[in-house]
Structure formats: structure tokens, C-alpha cells
Chains A and B, each alone.
Chain A
Amino acid sequence: MTAIAERPNAAGLRRDAFLERLALFGLGSPALLLVLVAMVLPVGWLFWLSFLADDGSPSLEHYRRMWQEPSYGRTFFVTFQVSLLTTGICIVVGYPLAYVLSQLPRRAANLAMIGVLLPFWTSLLVRTYAWLVLLQRQGLVNQWGIELGLWSEPLALVHNLQGTLVGMVHIMLPFLILPVYGSMRAIDRDYLKAAANLGAGPVGAFWKVFFPLSLPGLFGGALIVFILCLGFYVTPAVLGGGRVIMVSNRIATDIELFFNWGAASALGVVLLGLTLALLYVASRLVRLDRVLGGGH
């Protein structure tokens, strides 16, 4: 009895707290249900399928085949090759732009940022189509290249690896520039003054002070680009012209042509595993919500 007298209303208050949380959490439940039904369950199902042999018995057959058949090795090789090249080009091309943007006055930089974000806002298909048109044999790039005397015969710029890379770099560049730009803006300019004051020349000050300070953003951005590249489908399918087969394309072919759910699922599981593992690494380096929420 004394316990109750000393702790009046304890049970009721606990119940109120529980109900309030439940109500608030309940607001999220329709969204959770949607993601659960439309994503977690189907993908979980694939996960299950990947461990079933064609006759329905549990087996690692699909994973074993992935290991043994050279064609799968080739697919993974191409996927990594394309992703690495795209990431590398994005770094080389994106870093200088981010650097210049980060030194512009705020207003001008924000205006320029619209240019960087413009590709974000336009449909992926439209952009891919634009490149297809520009890079084709009678396309603008060949036309101008020949007129300027850079080359004499129309070059095969598309339906191959180069075409795919151009398209993917175009799509991925904003994902690299945004975090790099952010980390550059955050660097205290006084460090550079101090470096100059201590006798570092412009080049020395850049490499010894500025560049190392911008590395976290660069590394994070590069990882995001690489991860997103791994799952690419549309660009290699259209601009690769059947010559660039990445994991996603292989999965689609397995389903569309061969109805081989087990093989496709196993590939998908490996792709997902790679993505999550790299994402985990990336999450230790950068605030992912800033990068992935970049559609804003």
C-alpha cells in the first residue's frame, strides 16, 4: 500500500506514455507497411529463391555456378571496370569544378549549383537519349570533330564502353560534386592564410593543406558514386549497345530471356550484399542523408 501512496498515478502515466508513442509510431505504419509489402517481402522472396535448386530443393547451386562459369566472372569484371572508371573520371572532372565553385561568392555558387543539379532533375532516359543522339555516327560530336579536323571518319562513340562511360559520368557527377563541394565549403580559409604565412607557395598550400582537408568529402562522394554505379541498368543497356553487360543487365536477361529466377536472384543477392557492405563503409565517412537526399 505504501508503494502506491508514494508513487501515485505511476501505472496510468506509464500507460499514457505507451499509448502516445504507439499513436505517433502508428503514423509511420502505413509507410512501413508499403515498404514491407512492396519491397522487403519481394526481395526477401528472391533471397529465398536464390538458395533453391531448379527442382525446389535447397542448394547453393546458383552461387556455385556463379563462381564456376566464366561468363559470370566476366559480368562482375565489367561491372567493376565500368564503376571504377566512372568513379575515377568523376573525381578527375568533378573535383576541379567543385573547387572553383567553392571559391565563388555564395550567390554565384548557388546559381552555378542549379547547373550542377539540372541533370538531377531531368529524366535519366532523356539524358541517355541526348547522349545517344550526340554520340551517334551522324551525331553532333562526330560532325563537329570532322569539321574541326580532329578526325576524318565518323568514330564509333556509342554502343560501346566509351559511350556508356560518358553517359554514366554525366549522371553520377552531381553525386560526387555535392559532397566534395560541401566539405570544401566547410574548410576554414584561415588554414590557407596560415600556410601562406608559414611560407607555403600556392601549390604547396593546396596539396599539403587544402587537399587533405577535402579528402573526407571526396572519399565519401567517390564511394557513393561507385556504389550507385554497381546497380546501373539503363545507361549500359542503351549506350552500351549490348556490349556492356553489367550485373543488373545480366539479371534482367536471366529473367526476360531464360526465366531463370534462381540465377537472377543469386546475382541480385550478391549485388545487394556488395552494395550494403560498401554503404556501411561509406556511412562511417560521410553523412549519407546529405548525399542521397540530393534530389532536393
Chain B
Amino acid sequence: MGWLGRPATETQITHRARLWLYAVAVLVMAFLVLPTLIVIPMSFSASQYLEFPPREWSLRWYRSYLASPEWMQATATSLKAAFLTMLVATPLGTLAAYGLFASRIRFGRFAFALLVTPIIVPVILVGIGVFYAYVKLKLVNTLAGIVLAHSMLAVPIVLMIVTSALKSHDMSQEMVARSLGASRPRAFLLVTLPQIRFSVATSAVLAFLTSFDEVIVALFVSGGNNSTLTRSMFNALRDQIDPTIAAISTIMILVTSLLLALAQTVGQPRKRE
């Protein structure tokens, strides 16, 4: 094991002398990654207590999930809300990113700051504030209400991702396009948008997930026939450990991974030399 004796860094410390450090790093890494992943095999356990490794495999928790009208209802609501949030937040955030980036006015910085406040303000405050407003507007327990609040939470994420994409995009291409006869909107659509599509797709996926994973606002403003999946899960968690949730969690992990993989492939920028 000559490797152990070799210097690890510029300080000439050997790998052997800091094996403990590697051990710590591996443990922390395991702490970060494993708990989420371990839910997946557990969800196929036949036991009420979700052993690991499961003594007996079964799909009973998936069956119980699929057979429950309440869970199905909540899943449908969550998917609808997330999809609509994506449709609202992505164009709004992208347009705002482009407008604020291109206008270069002093008020633009202020507007940008205002647009990112939803990720700074504690969510509970947004939750009860929106709830209070919705009571007056009769939007409590409606899909429109959820989508409105979730879009507001997702806009800053789209804004930040698309702005950083625009910052690294060569804007002289848009100028060339305009000199060649394209109006500004056309130049954006034909030249800039195709090249930042990777970021726009990523931001769309994250907008979807922002809504799909959101708990607190949904707790206050969704309910009845329009309960979201997260709201139902949260309430179930507070009462008891229902193994059905392991199955739902596995499905949610699957949905998330699929979406992120999709974002990677849809807009993957072409390989540069």
C-alpha cells in the first residue's frame, strides 16, 4: 500500500496520517445519502414495522396506496397543482429574468430583490398570510389558490436560474440577430431561448418540484377535495407511522429522479470542443 505513505496535499501530510479524515467524510456522506434511499427497499416490506432488510417482500403498501381514494385524490391534486405551477412560474420567471437583465435600470435591482423575497420570508408567514387573504377571496381549498401561492414560491427559483444562464450567455448573438433583421422578441425566441433551454427546462422541473414538495402553504390553503399529497402525508405522519407513506415516498423519489433526468437530457447543451 504505497499510496498510504504518499503525501496527500501540499502540506506533505501522508494519506495514512489522515485516514480518520476519510472515514469521517465517508460517514457524513452515508448520513446524507442513505436515509433517503433506504426507504425504497423498506417500502417493499410485508411487515407493519418496515424492517430492513425486509424479511418478507410484498407490494401490500403499494396496493393500499393505489386502493385508497383519498390518496389517489391527493396525488391527482398535487400533480395538477405542480403542473399548473410549472406552466405559470416558468414563463413568468423567464420573462422577468430577461426583462430585468436587459433593461439594466436602477429599479431593476430593487425589482429583482422583491422577486426573490418569497425564498427569504419564512414560509409559515407566507402560509398564514396567504390563508388570511384567501379566506377573504374565497380561494381556500381551491386548486387556483394552491397554484397561485405555489407559483409565487417558484418564480424566484426560475428567475435566479434563468438570470444566471443569461449572464453566461453571449448577448452579442442577440445583437447580431437584430442587426440581421430580427425584432427583439424574435431574436430572443430564435437565438437566445434555444441556447438557454437547458436552464429553462431545469427551472421548469424545479418549479414543478417546488409545488409538488411544498408542505406548509399547502397545509393552510389546501383541503377537502383539493388536499395535496404533502398535506395528507403530513397529517398522516403526525398521527402514526403509516407504512403506506413509504410506498408514496418511493414513488415521489422516483418522480423527482425521473424529472431531473428528463431536464438533463431535454436541454443538455451540445458538447463544445
Within 8 A of B (CB), among A260-291: 261, 264-265, 268, 271-272, 275-276, 279, 289
Contact between A25 and B124 (Cβ–Cβ < 8 Å)? Answer: no
Which B positions have Cβ atoms within 8 angstroms of A?
8-13, 17, 21-22, 24-25, 28-29, 31-33, 35-36, 38-39, 42, 49-52, 88, 92-93, 95-96, 98-100, 102-103, 105, 107-108, 111, 114-133, 148-149, 151-152, 155, 157, 159-161, 164, 202, 206, 209, 212-213, 215-216, 219-220, 230, 233-234, 237-238, 241, 245-246, 249, 252-253, 256-257, 260
A34 CB contacts on chain B under 8 angstroms: 88, 92, 148, 151-152, 155
Q: Which residues of the other chain, A, contact B38 by a CB distance below 8 angstroms?
A: 130, 134, 140
Interface of chain A, main secondary structure? helix
Given A31-B95, A125-B215, A138-B49, the answer on whether A268 and B238 have CB atoms closer than 8 Å is no
B contact residues around A38 at 8 Å (CB) = 130, 133, 148-149, 151-152
Q: List 10 A-B contacts (CB under 8 A).
A: A115-B32, A119-B36, A125-B234, A129-B246, A170-B35, A206-B11, A233-B123, A233-B216, A279-B120, A296-B206
A231 pairs with B111, CB closer than 8 A: no
Cβ–Cβ < 8 Å partners of A276 in chain B: 120
Q: Which of the residues A25, A133, A247, A271 comes within 8 Å of B103, measured between beta carbons? A: A25
The residues in A between 156 and 215 inclusive whose CB is less than 8 angstroms from any CB of B are: 170, 173-174, 189-190, 192-193, 195-196, 200-202, 205-206
Is there contact, CB below 8 Å, between A35 and B36? no
Stretch touching chain B among A1-9, A58-66, A68-76, A92-100 = A92-100
Whether A252 and B128, one on each chain, are in contact in the complex, defined by CB atoms closer than 8 angstroms, is yes
Does the CB pair B25–A101 fall under 8 Å? yes
Q: State A24–B256 Cα separation when bound (angstroms).
A: 34
Given contacts A34-B148, A39-B118, 17 further A-B contacts (CB under 8 A): A25-B108, A31-B95, A35-B115, A39-B152, A49-B132, A123-B209, A133-B246, A134-B35, A170-B31, A170-B35, A196-B10, A202-B17, A233-B215, A233-B216, A238-B234, A252-B219, A268-B129
A248 B230 Cβ-Cβ under 8 A = no
Interface residues of chain A, those whose CB is within 8 Å of chain B, are 21, 24-28, 30-32, 34-43, 45-46, 49, 93-94, 96-97, 99-101, 103, 112, 115-116, 118-119, 121-134, 136, 138, 140, 143, 170, 173-174, 189-190, 192-193, 195-196, 200-202, 205-206, 230-231, 233-234, 237-238, 247-248, 251-252, 255, 261, 264-265, 268, 271-272, 275-276, 279, 289, 292-293, 295-296
In this complex, what residue of A is CB-closest to B231? Answer: A125
- What are the residues of chain A within 8 A of B132 when measuring CB–CB? 42, 45-46, 49, 261
Q: What separation, in Å, do the CA atoms of A27 and B120 have in the docked complex? A: 23
| Known contacts A100-B22, A251-B128, A279-B120, A296 near B253 by CB under 8 Å | no
Q: Are B95 and A127 in contact, CB atoms less than 8 angstroms apart?
A: no
How many angstroms from the CA of A69 to the CA of B107 in the assembled complex?
43
CB atoms of A125 and B131 under 8 A apart: no
**Distance (whole angstroms) from the CB of B185 to the closest CB of chain A:** 10
B122 touches A133 (CB 8 A): no
The reply to whether B115 and A32 form a contact with Cβ atoms under 8 Å apart is yes
User: Are B96 and A28 in contact, CB atoms less than 8 angstroms apart?
Assistant: yes
Task: Please measure, in the bound complex, the distance between the C-alpha atom of A94 and the C-alpha atom of B28, giving whole angstroms.
Answer: 7
Instruction: Tell which of A39, A43, A131, A138 has the most Cβ of chain B within 10 Å.
Output: A39
Please state if B213 and A125 are interface contacts (CB–CB under 8 Å): yes
- Contact yes or no, B124 A252, CB < 8 A: yes
Indicate if the CB atoms of A21 and B103 lie closer than 8 Å: yes
Residue of A nearest to B14 (CB): A202
